[in-house]
């Protein structure tokens, strides 16, 4: 367990793996501001010097110029003082707190940052909403983020949308102010912190947690009209034929590399989904011969089920070409939406579905699951003079704001 070099710390410590901006990499650039210690007494890193940390075999190697050194595992860096004068720059992005650099899946360097809760939030809020928003909307987001973090602080948090986007140390004045002026405040129901779900836009009507994740409905996640959400309409069209198989010149040496789908942004999401679900190799989407959204809707007017069929070619590493088909018939839309991608298929609040001779067009409104707070709705409420407490009462009815005290 990492610990910050500050014996006055009484605040919760948050540990977060860095994945979002780094991805999977076997090499990172490292630079320090201020003095840092490691567990290796022979290792002395100099402030302001650019280092390269990379994997060689199963070892971590630290390089400066032509000088290379194998670093002992665990490779940990502790700041001499926990403050803004002590920062670790990873690929030019600064972070406060302590670090451990792990080898992940034998091939990748995985930095793990540990820092105080309130400083973690200062690295979350401006990356979850626009830091230029009204301070009251930023405070509402801060409380949602703080409550969420405390409920998940014992999990293996990372800096991606799977938890909360965390961008490290920054100079966004208003989000820092929002965190400082609400220090320790969390959202509770019956004296317990709640699951503070939120999405970008609910399309004008909030959603019940039961409709999204199942289980019992929670009283502070009702289905109700939201007059503040800006609705945010969206639409996308996808062609039924992506690659005309009859026009492929099989005798061309580079025929595979010359194939391009008609809707590359949409089919890219499909290919990524297929690869994540066991379809290893290079993929080309041939067609979407079936796509349907059923007319049945739930009480929030969101669509529930649909069907999709995807025909594709897959090239294995030995050059073998497989012709394959993925079919989902009358299944929950939450199985289909990830295949197309949430950046296109933004919500289940669908206004229209059109089946044209050569394409499908879907139109809807909102962005995300719609449960809990609408971030854009919170922004509009703040612009109209509502306080963060009024915003949270609107989106989490029946809850109370209380001060969290770390035990």
Question: For strand 359-365 and strand 233-239, is the pairing parallel, antiparallel, or unpaired?
Answer: antiparallel
Q: Which two tokens stand for residue 28?
A: 């990172």
Angle at which helices 135-152 and 375-383 cross, to 10°: 150
Average of per-residue pLDDT across 332-359? 96
Which residues does 200 contact at the CB level (< 8 Å), separation at least 6?
232, 366, 367, 368, 374, 375, 376
Q: Please state, rounded to an integer, the average pLDDT across all residues of the chain.
A: 94
Q: What is the rounded CA–CA span in Å between residue 360 and residue 354? A: 6
pLDDT of 44 above 90: no
Q: What angle do CA 262, 268, 274 make, to 5 degrees?
A: 120
Please report the pLDDT score of residue 5 as a whole number. 45
Output the DSSP codes for 263-295: SHHHHHHHHHHHHHTT--SEEEEEEEEEEEE-S
pLDDT of 154 above 70: yes
CB-based contact 356:208 (threshold 8 Å): no
For the segment 68-115, what is each residue's pLDDT rounded down to a tens digit?
999 988 899 999 999 999 999 999 999 999 999 999 988 999 999 999
pLDDT of 4 above 60: no
Reported confidence tier of residue 153, pLDDT bands at 50, 70, 90: confident
Reported confidence tier of residue 1, pLDDT bands at 50, 70, 90: very low
Q: What is the pTM of this model?
A: 0.88
Q: Which two tokens stand for residue 227?
A: 């007059």
Domains of the chain, by residue range, sit at 13-117, 123-220+370-403, 233-365
For the segment 251-290, what is each residue's pLDDT rounded down to a tens digit?
999 999 999 999 999 999 999 999 999 999 999 999 999 9
Place of tokens 């390269």: 52
Please report the pLDDT score of residue 336 as a whole number. 97
Reported confidence tier of residue 125, pLDDT bands at 50, 70, 90: very high
pLDDT of 8 above 70: no
Average of per-residue pLDDT across 299-312? 97
Which residues does 125 contact at the CB level (< 8 Å), separation at least 6?
131, 138, 141, 142, 145, 175, 178, 179
């Amino acid at each position: 367990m990492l610990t910050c070099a500050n014996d006055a710390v009484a605040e919760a410590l948050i540990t977060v793996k860095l994945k979002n901006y780094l991805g999977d990499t076997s090499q990172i650039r490292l630079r320090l501001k201020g003095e840092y210690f490691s567990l290796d007494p022979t290792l002395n890193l100099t402030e302001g010097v650019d280092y390269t940390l990379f994997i060689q075999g199963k070892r971590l190697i630290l390089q400066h110029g032509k000088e290379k050194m194998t670093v002992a595992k665990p490779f940990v860096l502790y700041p001499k003082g926990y403050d803004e004068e002590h920062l670790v720059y990873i690929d030019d992005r600064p972070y406060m707190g302590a670090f451990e650099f792990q080898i992940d899946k034998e091939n990748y360097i995985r930095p793990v940052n540990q820092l105080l809760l309130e400083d973690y939030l200062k690295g979350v809020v401006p990356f979850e909403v626009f830091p230029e928003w009204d301070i009251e909307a930023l405070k509402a987001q801060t409380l949602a983020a703080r409550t969420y973090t405390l409920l998940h602080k014992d999990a293996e948090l990372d800096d991606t949308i799977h938890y909360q986007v965390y961008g490290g140390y920054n100079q966004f004045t208003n989000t820092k102010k929002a965190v400082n002026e609400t220090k320790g405040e969390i959202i509770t129901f019956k004296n317990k912190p709640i699951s503070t779900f939120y999405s970008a836009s609910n399309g004008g009507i909030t959603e019940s947690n039961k409709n999204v994740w199942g289980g019992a409905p929670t009283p502070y996640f009702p289905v109700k009209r939201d007059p503040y959400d800006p609705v945010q309409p969206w639409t996308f069209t996808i062609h039924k034929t992506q690659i005309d198989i009859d026009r492929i010149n099989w005798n061309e040496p580079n025929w595979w590399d010359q194939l391009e789908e008609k809707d590359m942004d949409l089919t890219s999401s499909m290919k990524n989904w297929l690869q994540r679900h066991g379809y290893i190799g290079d993929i080309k989407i041939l067609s979407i011969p079936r796509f349907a959204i059923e007319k049945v809707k739930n009480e929030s007017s969101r669509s529930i089920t649909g069907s999709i069929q995807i025909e594709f070619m897959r090239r294995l590493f030995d050059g073998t070409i497989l012709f394959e088909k993925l079919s989902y018939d009358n299944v929950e839309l939450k199985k289909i939406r990830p295949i197309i991608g949430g950046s296109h298929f933004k919500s289940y609040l669908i206004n229209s579905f059109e089946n044209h001779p050569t394409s499908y067009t879907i139109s809807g409104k909102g962005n995300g699951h719609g449960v809990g707070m609408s971030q854009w709705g919170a922004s509009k409420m703040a612009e109209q003079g509502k306080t963060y407490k009024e915003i949270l009462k609107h989106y989490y009815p029946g809850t109370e704001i209380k001060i969290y005290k770390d035990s």
